[in-house]
Structure 1
């Protein structure tokens, strides 16, 4: 049996696949709007929706007062819960079944071996909701291929879950063409029929606008950064290492730590931390890579900060302080075992790994302590960080679905979006007490059956406001939320933050090769001048025209960032 904790800090594909230990609900990141330049019934195939047009479509926000968090959200952080769990005091957020007993098919990505249909978890959830949910789980690693085939066919399930990282190519247009407008059921005060959906933050709903209509049910995520420089706090304390406050200090520390003959290196590839330290615009999603500077839109790859971050990352490799595994790039093995063995002491990754690595090592390595470094400004000052999208995974309802099916789907979502500390949240995330989990000293622990059956299913339909709760390691939950809050204080929103934008298809492949080139430069296989040439080619092949297109989107719609 393994201890389990509930956490929805933010999946992106990188975080979702980063650690199998984080089997709770760590889902992706996203933010508000996709939509329309036109006003036809199907909406425009490209562009966005914001400003007054968006306000008319968004659900009213009614904060939940069912459970008060131990650490309220601040600076774009998740809500934090640090208290032990007391099943006797769990609240009820759905006093009566809203489902009418209909059948709803859901296609969703799944990582691992899907449980059998009709298992105890599925039966209990369906009974709680009053809907017969039938799962069509698909391999999350190849989901984009399955998604494309299904959306190109006439046989679309009642509900289809689409992660933001799968929204490339023709998928956004298919979303607009194949899925229902949920506005009549959720816009304005209509959402109050579903109180847990009404408590989802407005930014997450704004990101659920596709083709000028409210089509998505979102999984909210924090806008505070999710990429953390994780380090071995226990070894730092033992060796007396000081936390760095600049890139020069990091380099000096890395050289002090590294002893290749003793099989110890300072770090893995630090590129993602370098981007943070130098204030580089986000590379997680194309629209976030643009920002208005002195009246002109600038892309992240055109900035001096981008080149400086790559050069500093390259110097770490050249100095020999980076673990040899990092030279393998994307095919490098799982860093967990060698991090636990102390072969390297620092690596950047999704915040979900903070708890995941802690849980992995809790029994066999009691001295092990992982923690998160505060991001530093490259010159020793405060960093400039960029906000992440407020929702990143969405569930859509087929345009062919009847009103009764749509209302049954919303009944499902109203249960799965129940806040932490409620009976509905426990059922969604842990299953049935005694069957799927037990509680000892306020800590829920999944049984073997729970680990098999209670995995990424119902949480994919909709989720509450981003939450971090680890009753097994409350100090980690506190550390994660407080890190988000400290870093959130240095976080800015770029021009297209919160906007669900569909680029014209002719520009789709413009920057496809940039990440591979970044990695080649960092590893010494290419030069900074190669990136400068790439940027020059990018501009002439369509980058400048894409800039003009984005500028028109901004001029027509305004910014969603406030």
Structure 2
């Protein structure tokens, strides 16, 4: 999900005010008794034999190395001599079908798209992708499931109600094919870190292939130039929440510019940086006795909501932005109408470049949270993957071919295959500059919109050709933010009740919080909303997660995101 990347995302899987589970509700036509039996099981990734991690050797040497903490490698230029990941096409005929969301304009059609055709030649098979406009994707997926017309590869962008039932009825258990050392047959998939694979299980089985991301989505973006004009050169210099409110008031000039803008897609109030400033736990907190506390049951969450209400009352939120689209929010940030927004780190490159086009003096930067009472804030491990891929049930030989295709689509940065998948055909879709960086042509900008990157993908590298300053800033930001990142202890768990009721429970909480922030309810309404959440299913969700934790030592070093 690099760039705006397609960033619809990093997809709203978790509401930033609530963090609910079960975003979509898919039809489960034909889910038989086996599906019903698995649907009621709370489960943990600890119950599953995950793929053995085998790092790739002999790849392109980065300018800034990846770290054990998860900071992605960074490259100033594309390798001058990309290596071939395959000595021959991995497949020998046939067709791979897929269904993916589309968050850009449509690509050039297959017959007029030399990049698409070249990918098929390198893979050794036809690739038939049905690309659905992102906002319509879950609805289309629901009807496709109901019609029993699934392609080989299906992108699951959000956890549906009764996820295990859907998987058991329609999709392949990949554990026998990828579990343990079996993954070594697919070296690019085996090179995906274990922390990512932990998010790919359900009901005690490995059902998904991940589209990896880079651990943390961060805490949003701020305009360093606007902060500096108000007397603060760097967000890390802010001493506490009171000073921050004073700063936002100083920045705000009604009718011209505001401290914060939100959008309808992130709870309306760009809540994430505030949650991080107040040290709110990542969805749940697990104590030493194995007991879980939901994040909005904590004092930290209540304090963050109270503070956002102060920011709103002070007039620091851009009026009307709570109902905006994400693009409207980003436009306000890039043009200097808002000094702080929440968007995921993968989208920062686009925000940086667009703001610089509007004003060379603009200084966008990722927001690194300070502690509300001094010291450091937290970030969340909430961007482990963009989405997950499931494979339609088939015989083992067919599934092996589809996995070979997925391994091909996960060809890593610095290989000829990665260059082809991302930049197309040299001379037609891209040219090389003096530093060997690929530069897309006008045709290439359309040809390369085919959604190969959603059929599986390698661990991401940071690459902003010709923009060393941006590359350095992103690398430092990931270093800073991942160092503060805390895990969701339930990220690798499944709760049937969360799958069935999570969306409705989350909306009720989000609506109650919005009323408090805008002054239509008092802070005491939060206590009432939490009690209602608990009685309507929250306590049952907690019980099921704790059951899954007791059934195995679930990882607490990982988490899931937003596009």
CA distance in 2 between counterparts of 1:176 and 1:389 reads 26
Q: What is the aligned counterpart of 1:135 among 126, 129, 133? A: 129
Q: Taking structure 1 as reference, are residues 524 and 183 closer, same or farther at Cα in structure 2, changes over 3 Å only?
A: same
After superposition, residues 87-102 of structure 1 pair within 5 angstroms as: 88-102=80-94
The answer as to whether partners of 2:371 and 2:377 remain within 8 angstroms in 1 is yes
Cα separation, 2, equivalents of 1:199 and 1:453: 28
Distance 1:342 1:364 in 2: 9
Q: Look up the match of 1:23.
A: none
CA contact (8 A) 2:161 2:500 kept: no
CA 346–69 in structure 1, closer or farther in 2 if over 3 Å, else same? same
TM-score, structure 2 as length reference:
0.85
Match 1:183 to one of 166, 175, 191: 175
- Which secondary structure state, in structure 1, belongs to the residue aligned with residue 551 of structure 2? helix
Residue 195 of structure 1 and its aligned partner are, at CA, apart by 1.4
Q: Cα offset for 1:406?
A: 2.0
Q: Which runs of 5+ in 2 are unaligned?
A: 14-33, 262-268, 558-563
The SS at the match of 1:510 is helix
Deviation sequence 1:323-378 (CA, Å, 0-9, x none) = 2233x335576123332332222222211232112222444533333112321111
Rounded to whole Å, the distance in 2 between the matches of 1:181 and 1:521 is 45
Corresponding position of 1:523: 518
Query: Equivalent residue for 1:241?
Result: 232
What are the Cα deviations for residues 172-196 of structure 1, in whole angstroms up to 9, with x where unaligned? 4212321112233322222222211
The residue number in structure 1 matching 2:185 is: 193
- Structure 1, residues 436-470: CA drift from partner, whole Å, max 9, x if none? 22232334332222222212511111111132221
Separation (CA, whole Å) in 1 of partners of 2:323 and 2:219: 19
Aligned pairs for 1:322-337 within 5 A = 322-326=317-321, 328-331=322-325, 334-337=328-331
Structure 1 residue 231 and structure 2 residue 226: aligned? no
Cα drift, residue 301 of structure 1 = 1.6
In 2 relative to 1, CA 453–342 (structure 1 residues): closer, same or farther, beyond 3 Å?
same
Change (3 A) 1:242 1:478: closer
Do residues 452 (structure 1) and 446 (structure 2) align?
yes
Query: What is the alpha-carbon distance in structure 2 between the residues aligned to residue 50 and residue 270 of structure 1?
Result: 31
Q: Secondary structure at the match of 1:349?
A: coil
Provide the rounded CA distance (Å) in 2 between the counterparts of 1:479 and 1:377.
22
Q: Which residue of 2 aligns with 1:376?
A: 370
Aligned partner of residue 137 in structure 2, secondary structure: helix
8 Å CA contact 1:62, 1:198 repeated in 2: yes
Equivalent in the alignment of 2:389: 395
Instruction: Report the counterpart of residue 544 of structure 2 in structure 1.
Output: 549
Among 153, 157, 179, the alignment partner of 2:151 is 157
Q: 1:190 to 1:294 in 2, by over 3 A?
A: closer
Change (3 A) 1:215 1:338: closer
Shift of 1:505: 5.4
Instruction: Single out whichever of 384-393 and 92-101 deviates more from structure 2.
Output: 384-393
In structure 2, the CA distance between the partners of 1:314 and 1:294, relative to structure 1 (3 Å rule), is farther
- Say if 1:548 and 1:192 are closer, same or farther in 2 by CA, change over 3 A: closer
Aligned to 2:265: none
Q: Residue 199 of structure 1: CA displacement?
A: 0.7
Q: 1:199 to 1:94 in 2, by over 3 A?
A: same
Cα separation, 2, equivalents of 1:260 and 1:295: 49
- SS state at 2:189 partner: helix
The equivalent residue for 2:311 is: 316
* Match of residue 461, structure 1, among 438, 455, 458: 455
Q: Which residue of 2 aligns with 1:206?
A: 198
RMSD in angstroms over aligned alpha carbons? 2.8
When residues 455 and 297 of structure 1 are mapped into structure 2, their CA distance, relative to the original with a 3 A threshold, is same
For residue 473 of structure 1, the aligned residue among 467, 491, 498 is: 467
Give 1:96 deviation, angstroms. 2.3
Which one is further off, 183-192 or 237-246?
A: 237-246
Picking from 122, 125, 129, the partner of 2:119 is 125
In 2: Cα distance, 1:255 partner to 1:114 partner: 43
Asked whether the 8 Å contact 1:48–1:502 carries over to 2, the reply is no
Partner of 2:403: 410
Closer, same or farther in 2 for the Cα pair 1:85/1:505, shift >3 Å? closer
C-alpha spacing 1:362/1:120, structure 2 compared with 1 (3 Å): farther
Within 2, Cα distance between the matches of 1:190 and 1:15? 30
Give distance in 1, aligned partners of 2:364 and 2:512: 31
Kindly tell me: are residues 186 and 330 of structure 1, through their superposed partners in 2, closer, same or farther at Cα, counting changes over 3 Å? same
> Which of 23, 43, 65 is the matching residue for 1:72?
65
- Structure 2 CA distance for partners of 1:173 and 1:453, relative to 1, 3 Å: farther
Kept in 2, the 8 Å contact 1:111–1:139? The answer is yes
1:339 is aligned, of 333, 343, 351, to 333
Q: Which runs of 5 or more residues in structure 1 are unaligned?
A: 1-5, 19-39, 283-287
* Counterpart for residue 21 of structure 1: none
Cα deviation for residue 474 of structure 1 reads 2.8
For residues 8 and 266 of structure 1, do their structure 2 counterparts lie closer, same or farther at Cα, with a shift above 3 Å needed?
Answer: closer
